Structure 1
Amino acid sequence: MKSIPVLLLLPVLFSATEGVHNPDLNQTSSEDLDLTVVLDLSSLVRRVDLRFLSVTVDASLASEEKFMFLLGSSKLRMLSRALTPSFLRFGGTRQDFMVFTPQRSLQQDSGSSAALTCDKLELPPWLEERLKKEWTHQQVLLMREDLRRKYRRVKFTENTVDMLHSFTNCSGMDLIFGLNALLRTADNVWNGSNAGSLLQYCESRGYRMSWELGNEPNSYEKKAGIRVDGYQLGQDFTRLREMMSQSKLYHDAGLFGPDVGQPRDRRTDILQGFLQSGAEAVDAVTWHHYYVNGRDTSLEDFLDPEVLDTLIWKTNEVLETVKLASPEKSVWLGETSSAFGGGAVGLSDTFVAGFMWLDKLGLAAKLGLDVVMRQVLVGSGTYHLVDENLDPLPDYWLSVLYKRLVGPEVLNIEGLHNFSRRKRVRLYLHCAHRQRYRRGAVTLISMNLSHRAVRVSLPARLSSSTVEAFVLQSEQPGEEGLYSRSVTLNTEVLKMVDDQTLPDLKGARLPPSDHLQLPAYSLAFFVFIDAAASACF
């Protein structure tokens, strides 16, 4: 194994483009920071799922079934296609208050899922505008429910399932449907009859999909006055797996769970009990993670390396718990974002949220998680990837670039700093995406959480390579820009060309050089096209 030391002298955003000399590129500053890193291009740390970056649609969208028709937006479908391959998880707090209430007979609905084609799915513009306005008011009502922790039962029909399946099918995503685990008998055993009706309907339509059961069982007592221990939950999942095994369509379908909340006070009681009785029923173990409480967090929290590093010990705790019970079982972040409680107003949908999001992707891949599901594509809250007009927010652009530039193969990179706030520069290394770049290319994921800029000096192995640079910044300088809902790529503001067209998202092609530059408060991807990393062939 060969390690390559890299000196990272951390000042000014390069803005060079192919064939254009940037006079500032070789200038240094008296305030430059130094960072030495060690990287290894000869072996992989691990490989994640191709659908590693995945998304969710919150079950709150079905609080009134008419809002599910927002998934008929051709604009939203186009934006979703840019995030594939991925899972789309339909779930959240309200999934455990949803009851399938069919309105049609199975005879009426038997046949192919092609009955609702992608063309038929498209939502008329006038209806889309009306639903978006009404959804704004609906979110206020949903927030009140969350504050009071009093949730009403929601009845959904075939329309909800049809819209979900058609949306994922036409977007190229793989649907995971979250079932209600709070439908229970007098003996506190899961009553699967309603789920059985739903599975029967979906099978009659030929809907290929995966399943979950319940959302954050550790909070059932708080939100519903029902306590379910982990061992019983595992038995409930085993029952669901038995039901699936009796289906011609779903006997080999994915089942994921238990979607427990993150470990608190270092307790994993429910997860441990679940693994004793239900580990064999699931294809992957899922848990949820948020860094902070959205109601009392701050800008400083979003930039605090110690807050970001809490993901490390929480992830390691879950991985160790799973390894003891089921060593080969895959572990996923089944729901995650910056702040719980629906997000942090004025922060979770702004530029600064990208530091938590990109760092989570880098850490999760390196630590051992195979899939990370971002809360939320659409649904209630303030941690969306798209805004109330279905226009992309900063984390959407960040996610699309990740999908295009970063491959599933994780490489090792470590930093040795000589300045005090050392963890404010965060680096991750992957093989570059093979559908876009030649074998052997690598992508350096970089974050500068500091108000000071950085010059990155490269070793000969990388300095001889042509580089494509993708540097994301706020369109406003300094801390004020961190609150912005806009983002620039290599100094150009990112926005859709029209409702059906994304911009090119081109990198700045840089000639071989012994250094690069990383601006203050920036997120960047550097693709070393000619790195010839042996681990990436």
Structure 2
Amino acid sequence: MASKAVIVFLFLVSCFFSVSFADEVKVTIKSVTTIAKTDPNFICATLDWWPSDKCDYNQCPWGKAGLLNLDLGNKILFNAVKAFGPMRIRIGGSLQDQLTYNVGPAAGECPQFKKKDDGLFKFTNGCLEMKRWDQIMDFLNKTGAKLTFGLNALMGKTKNQDDKSSNPVYDGDWESLNARDFMVYNLKKEYDIDSYELGNELCGEGVSARIEAEQYGKDFLMFRKIVDELYPNASTRPIILGPAGFYEEKWFNKFLEVTGPDVVDGVTHHIYNLGSGDDADLINKIQDPFFLSQIAQTYKDVANSVKLFAPWSGAWVGEAGGAYNSGGKDVSHTFADGFWYLDQLGMTSTLDHKVYCRQALIGGNYALLNTTTFIPNPDYYGALLWHRLMGSKVLSTSHDGSAYLRAYSHCTKSGEDITILLINLSNSTTFEVSVLNDMNLNLFAEKKDYVPQQQREEYHLTPEGGDIQSDVLLLNGTPLKLTNDSDIPKMGPQLADPTTPIRVSPDSFVYATLKGFQAPACAK
């Protein structure tokens, strides 16, 4: 009996220590000025052209999620996009530079993408019927989405026969007629296009094909001229984005130097910093704060190129899926992906990026929605909460604790309070977070002009059953599931005593809105 009593005592003691003790961390927010400002529609998701036989690593994860096959009448898809009110959508991707538009004097036969071993991305050229385009635009208009459309930049170009590399140079001027006819069609139909982008991953070393910086710059000058001509009213004119590829400093700087002032409105670049989708170490990379931080230098370098060569514009992440070739089948659609994704949102907004486009809304393993059922994956809800809670004004945020705790803060959408995002990458440590204002060093100290009477609003995101590779996300302990009408569930906060620290459990994300924080930057 004595031995059993000792065992029970030790068990209770261990429980007490595991529950009662946590790392105490002080997060300091500099609230007097902002350090960056994002677009109001910072969250963006992509839609791609891939056919159902797009396959990687002996799997074909796109199904009918490509735009030529996607069920636009699906109620879950409709509600998922509409819930953002609005959601920014980028249409484009690898096959956009093989897509023609069946419109104008050249309209005729309209072949679909087919497998071809020696074709770009192992597919033939494809074609977009205007009937299908009308269906796509009807969907986007009804959901209130803001559209970026990626145009074919290889029209009229020929492969340099002397270039035997896997990513050969394509020479010649851009043939703009088909793109112009497509834009004219959109004007006649009074379609609202927020922005046009020219080409996909043709810059620098390229992916399967590339264009030299000087030539691409000349193509963009022609592009700008056409858009300005078709849209003489600057207030309704779509903005121009590019070059939509992987950042290489010398190439980007030359491209922006050639295009010159007020040609490119948004400098887009792509990120797949987790490596290939079949990497067995993917699940470890995604939880490694030191690995996740390595990409920060690229964001700083892009922002610097924009500052030096295109200060009238802004840096955008035009496409980011984490792991390339459709993502990791056991990781990219699960709770674990949020360690990477939410950290990316925080990091890029801090490093002066205006928009972040997630590959993809649907399709592949890395989509925000399940490719076959359309049910939202965990990252969808993380993105929706960001969109609703994190405003455009970014605040400097730092702490004195473990690298496994990430912290980012913005003024709220209303602009009066602040919302902080806390990401706990550790699978064993709980963090007790106190938030300090750099103006008074203690948020909860008695001050004449601030009395913490309003409760803190907290959104704790955790995986079902504690399994970070689960597709089911818990909000404050309750699974997020669609309603019986296929609507996105309500996502209300739990209220907390504002004088207590924010408790961030292992393997969890917390959004917390701090009422009455008195941030001068948010009051302006």
Aligned pairs (5 A) from 1:85-484: 85-102=86-103, 149-185=121-157, 188-209=172-193, 210-218=195-203, 223-224=208-209, 227-248=210-231, 252-261=237-246, 263=247, 267-279=248-260, 280-293=262-275, 294-296=277-279, 297-379=281-363, 381-387=364-370, 388-417=372-401, 422-434=402-414, 440-451=416-427, 452-458=429-435, 460-462=442-444, 464=452, 465-477=454-466, 481-484=467-470
Shift, 1:386, TM fit: 0.5
Between the two proteins, the alignment pairs up a number of residues equal to: 461
1:33-57 deviation per Cα after TM superposition (whole angstroms, max 9, x unaligned): 2333322222222221101111111
CA contact (8 A) 1:288 1:333 kept: yes
| 2:457 alignment partner AA | E
Aligned pairs (5 A) from 1:512-531: 512-531=498-517
- Aligned twin of 1:56: 46
Larger displacement relative to structure 2 (39-48 or 252-261): 39-48
CA contact (8 A) 1:230 1:273 kept: yes
CA contact (8 A) 2:404 2:425 kept: yes
Name the CA distance, whole Å, in 2 between partners of 1:66 and 1:396: 19
Shift, 1:397, TM fit: 0.8
- Aligned twin of 2:79: 78
CA contact (8 A) 2:455 2:498 kept: yes
Q: Judging changes above 3 Å, is the alpha-carbon distance between structure 1 residues 245 and 391 closer, same or farther for their aligned structure 2 residues? A: same
1:149-205 deviation per Cα after TM superposition (whole angstroms, max 9, x unaligned): 322111111023212222221111111111111112455211112112211221221
Q: Judging changes above 3 Å, is the alpha-carbon distance between structure 1 residues 171 and 423 closer, same or farther for their aligned structure 2 residues? A: same
- Please give the secondary structure, in 1, of the residue aligned with 2:122: coil
Name the CA distance, whole Å, in 2 between partners of 1:104 and 1:497: 48
Name the CA distance, whole Å, in 2 between partners of 1:363 and 1:406: 13
Unmatched 5+ stretches in structure 1: 1-25, 107-137
1:196-228 deviation per Cα after TM superposition (whole angstroms, max 9, x unaligned): 22112212211121211100113786525xx41
CA contact (8 A) 1:40 1:413 kept: yes
Larger displacement relative to structure 2 (52-61 or 454-463): 454-463
CA contact (8 A) 2:201 2:207 kept: no
Shift, 1:31, TM fit: 5.2
| 2:426 alignment partner AA | S
- Please give the secondary structure, in 1, of the residue aligned with 2:353: coil
1:347-393 deviation per Cα after TM superposition (whole angstroms, max 9, x unaligned): 110000011111111111111001111111123x2110000211110
| 2:472 alignment partner AA | S
- Aligned twin of 2:56: none
Q: Judging changes above 3 Å, is the alpha-carbon distance between structure 1 residues 193 and 404 closer, same or farther for their aligned structure 2 residues? A: same
Unmatched 5+ stretches in structure 2: 1-15, 54-63, 159-170, 437-441, 446-451
| 2:74 alignment partner AA | S
- Please give the secondary structure, in 1, of the residue aligned with 2:40: coil
- Aligned twin of 1:115: none
TM superposition score normalised by structure 1: 0.80
Q: Judging changes above 3 Å, is the alpha-carbon distance between structure 1 residues 45 and 504 closer, same or farther for their aligned structure 2 residues? A: same
Aligned pairs (5 A) from 1:504-515: 504-515=490-501
CA contact (8 A) 1:45 1:366 kept: yes
CA contact (8 A) 1:102 1:158 kept: yes
- Please give the secondary structure, in 1, of the residue aligned with 2:50: helix
1:246-285 deviation per Cα after TM superposition (whole angstroms, max 9, x unaligned): 2147862211111021x3xxx4233122112124321111
CA contact (8 A) 1:68 1:163 kept: no
Give the RMSD, CA atoms, in angstroms: 2.9
Q: Judging changes above 3 Å, is the alpha-carbon distance between structure 1 residues 515 and 36 closer, same or farther for their aligned structure 2 residues? A: closer
Shift, 1:327, TM fit: 2.5
Q: Judging changes above 3 Å, is the alpha-carbon distance between structure 1 residues 389 and 103 closer, same or farther for their aligned structure 2 residues? A: farther
1:417-464 deviation per Cα after TM superposition (whole angstroms, max 9, x unaligned): 2xxxx2110001111221xxxx53211100000012122235552583
Larger displacement relative to structure 2 (268-277 or 386-395): 268-277
User: Relative contact order (C-alpha < 8 Å, sep 6+): which is higher?
Assistant: 1
Name the CA distance, whole Å, in 2 between partners of 1:149 and 1:105: 25
- Please give the secondary structure, in 2, of the residue aligned with 1:70: coil
- Higher helix fraction (1 or 2): 1
- Please give the secondary structure, in 2, of the residue aligned with 1:343: coil
| 2:479 alignment partner AA | V
| 1:339 alignment partner AA | A
| 2:186 alignment partner AA | C
TM superposition score normalised by structure 2: 0.81
- Aligned twin of 1:135: none
- Aligned twin of 2:4: none
- Aligned twin of 1:42: 32
CA contact (8 A) 2:28 2:435 kept: no
CA contact (8 A) 1:40 1:412 kept: yes
Q: Judging changes above 3 Å, is the alpha-carbon distance between structure 1 residues 426 and 333 closer, same or farther for their aligned structure 2 residues? A: same
- Aligned twin of 2:22: 32
Q: Judging changes above 3 Å, is the alpha-carbon distance between structure 1 residues 40 and 97 closer, same or farther for their aligned structure 2 residues? A: same
* Identity of matched residues, %: 28
1:297-331 deviation per Cα after TM superposition (whole angstroms, max 9, x unaligned): 42110101122112210101111222221223211
Shift, 1:104, TM fit: 9.9
Q: Judging changes above 3 Å, is the alpha-carbon distance between structure 1 residues 393 and 232 closer, same or farther for their aligned structure 2 residues? A: same
CA contact (8 A) 1:50 1:85 kept: no
Q: Judging changes above 3 Å, is the alpha-carbon distance between structure 1 residues 302 and 221 closer, same or farther for their aligned structure 2 residues? A: closer
Name the CA distance, whole Å, in 2 between partners of 1:310 and 1:391: 32
